[in-house]
Amino acid sequence: MIEEHPIVSVLRKHLDVKVTVTDPFEIEKGMLRRFAIATGDTDPIYHDEDYARASQFGEIISPPTFPFEWNHHEHGVAQLDISGDIFKELGIRPSGLRAENDYEIIEPTRPGDIITTTSFLSDVYQKQGRSGLLIFYIVESHYHNQRGLLMAVAKDTMVFVL
């Protein structure tokens, strides 16, 4: 059995501590169209009002990944400052990377929506890799609109390679 690295205990202190951020901008049709163009998605549901009105949604909607990328610097994920907490407690800045994203889209983002994101560490664990110790942590984010409707859930698995 591998001895637990001190980073794991620092991260465990932050499990389930929620950070909630409401984005200051209302979603506009032009934003959705530009996002679709930027991602190469040509589905008319994202920009053609007549087409969208005749769809099951009745209006223009966003491409599926829009809430996860929209104004990301304002979201709770950015507010968690995990590396800063590790540096404060242990005096080290481990290098990390994103290992996996798991997205669940429940409701599409629509023009007029205001997104509130609640993010938190939902899990922390370590594994021995071929090149060294790997410390994984999962940041879970829940996205709600201005009516409190859950729109989407993201689980971002991050890893520190030591």
CB atoms within 10 A of CB 51: 13
pLDDT of residue 87: 84
pLDDT of residue 134: 94
Flag residues of the chain having pLDDT under 70: 1, 71-79
pLDDT of residue 29: 94
Which domains, ranges and CATH numbers included, belong to the chain?
6-27+70-161 (3.10.129.10)
CA nearest neighbour of 68 among 18, 29, 108, 124: 108
SS3 137: strand
Tokens, residue 41 = 């998605």
pLDDT of residue 23: 85
pLDDT of residue 72: 64
pLDDT of residue 83: 78
CA nearest neighbour of 114 among 67, 141, 146: 146
pLDDT of residue 75: 58
Locate tokens 């901008």: which residue?
Answer: 25
- Alpha-carbon torsion 116, 121, 122, 127, what sign? positive
pLDDT of residue 95: 81
At 105-137, the pLDDT tens digits run 999 999 999 999 999 999 999 999 888 899 999
pLDDT of residue 25: 86
